[in-house]
Amino acid sequence: MSSLSEKDRPIVQLLLSTGTCPRCVLRFCCVGSQMLYRHPHKDLMKNLQEFLKNSQEKEDTVCLDVADPPCKRIRLEHGEEGADDLNHNGAIPSADDGNSATESSAVKVCNVCLGILQEFCEPDFVKKVCQKVNSADYQFTSFVFSVSLPPQLSVRERAAWLGVKQQMRNLGLPLAKDDIIQLKEAYKWIIHPQLSEELGVPADGKSLFEVSVVFAHPETDEECHFLATACPDCFKPAKNKQSVFTRMAVIKALEKIKEEDFLKHFPCPPSSPKNLCDALEIQCNNGAVFVAGRYNKYSRNLPQTPWIIDGERKLESSVEELISEHLMAEFKADSFNFSSSGREDVDVRTLGNGRPFAIELVNPRRIRFTAEEMRRLQQAINDSSDKIQVRDLQLVTREAIGRMKEGEEEKTKTYSALIWTDKAIQREDIAFLDDIKELKLDQKTPLRVLHRRPLAVRCRLIHTMKSEYIDEHHFRLHLKTQAGTYIKEFVHGDFGRTKPNIGSLLNRTADILELDVESVDVDWPPTLAD
């Protein structure tokens, strides 16, 4: 095995004799050749046995031919003597003992990786993962593979590493923990080519399609618990965590605990388990897909989002649901998140070019749609209801959605309000409104939204107004305003919480009967050809 050198012999001998699998042996010998890890388990064990045998024969030859053994031989003797430091947990055997140990440990579950680099690297498990992926019916052109490991693996790896560290110290050679090949990395070296071949697509760290495996090992679950006593500050309860013994908490504690304290509580080398890890979950997840467009709302009895008060639904549908139910079905997503450039009240229509919106489709099975398919989807939404219509429906990126939210305070909106006055009016009574430009308002949070918005006074602008006389008690007012202006309150004053207001300007009581949004001046998403 060309990647191993003479300095690795005591490490190989120690680890194999204590029940460590061949791939974990390579990790602790800092072997960085990915191809070696992909060799069959039996071949690796045979090669390691051959390596130990050849090393021993080479030493015997040197001892016979050279009067004074070289320093390497002396260092090896020191290593064997130094092993007495570990004898209370497991001494290093001779070369012959090592070979017999490797033979007996061939069928044992690895005392470091708990079988991750054994059974779970085999073709049968790879096929099981791929069957799960294929049955989930996802569209994908590449994949990223992730693994969730039991936290106690870090404890066992630390125990094995302390034994290796002692050996290297006895040999007079340095060993940093960072030099060891991480278990996850080695596992992915082995599993990636097999998954790629079986799924027919490449592994790509930037892929939006994730295949994940969650491993657990109930037999050794309690092996982390001593760390909570030694390092209580590392284990804090969290609402979204079932256990305080998370992998990151365990790693943090292992970095903090002193070696001598660790060795008092945990055997070095770690004992051999009876059972393999369990693959608790094999999951697939596609990155979110984002769909944008503009919607018109023609109903005065339709909220933008589900209207639920104290757990009771007030109206049967919403703009959000009328659009999303079609997208959810076509994209086969788990859930969605709806956002828009502002919102209108339940009794307000949205006309003109409509209001920009975006929907995040979470974990979609289908992700590829042609422009024609998107047009058909848009038509299906429009045919399903006379309360809304959508236009410019298209796939967008997550980054592009930011443009919808940019300039919330700077963008303008145009409204049409039907206004009633208690006192009779003539055309000349409202004509002066047309001449008012950039009218500054101070709007205290309206009473109707105070339950969900913080109390504050907001300065807003009415850029222009144009009045349209109807009769002695009614007129229509067209307004161009700063985004975020409360139009209803500008009309009736909200008991003096909006100043000035139409009532105060006309010196009479005014109220709003109807309100329409005529335009939302956001140049997004891009307009599509019909």
Active site residues: 345
Query: Residue 481: which H helix or E strand, with range?
Result: strand 474-482
Tell how far CA 6 is from the center of its chain.
44
Q: 């409202």: which residue's tokens?
A: 430
Burial 310-331 (b: 16+ CB within 10 A, else e): eeeeeeebbbbbbbbebbbebb
DSSP character at residue 277? P
Using an 8 Å Cβ cutoff, are 25 and 163 in contact?
no
CA distance 340 to 404: 8
Amino acid at 223: E
Instruction: Report in angstroms the alpha-carbon separations of 371 from 10, 29, 529.
Output: 64, 54, 11
DSSP 291-349: EEEEEEE--SS--SS--EETTEE-SS--HHHHHHHHHHHHHT-SEEEEEESS---TT-E
Output the CA torsion 186→187→189→194 (10° steps).
160
Which of 282, 359, 281 has its CA nearest to residue 324?
A: 359
- CB neighbour class for 116 (10 Å; exposed up to 12, middle 13-18, buried from 19): buried
- The pair of three-digit structure tokens given for residue 282, joined into one six-digit string: 């094999």
DSSP character at residue 244? S
Angle, helices 41-65 vs 71-82, to 10°: value is 120
Which of 268, 273, 275, 274 has its CA nearest to residue 14?
A: 268
Using an 8 Å Cβ cutoff, are 388 and 295 in contact?
yes
CA distance 489 to 444: 10
Angle, helices 95-105 vs 41-65, to 10°: value is 170
Phi and psi for 288 in degrees, rounded to 5? -60, 150
- The pair of three-digit structure tokens given for residue 327, joined into one six-digit string: 């997208």
Using an 8 Å Cβ cutoff, are 365 and 136 in contact?
yes
Which of 285, 383, 287, 304 has its CA nearest to residue 348?
A: 304
User: Cβ atoms within 10 A of the Cβ of 370, count?
Assistant: 8
User: Cβ atoms within 10 A of the Cβ of 523, count?
Assistant: 9
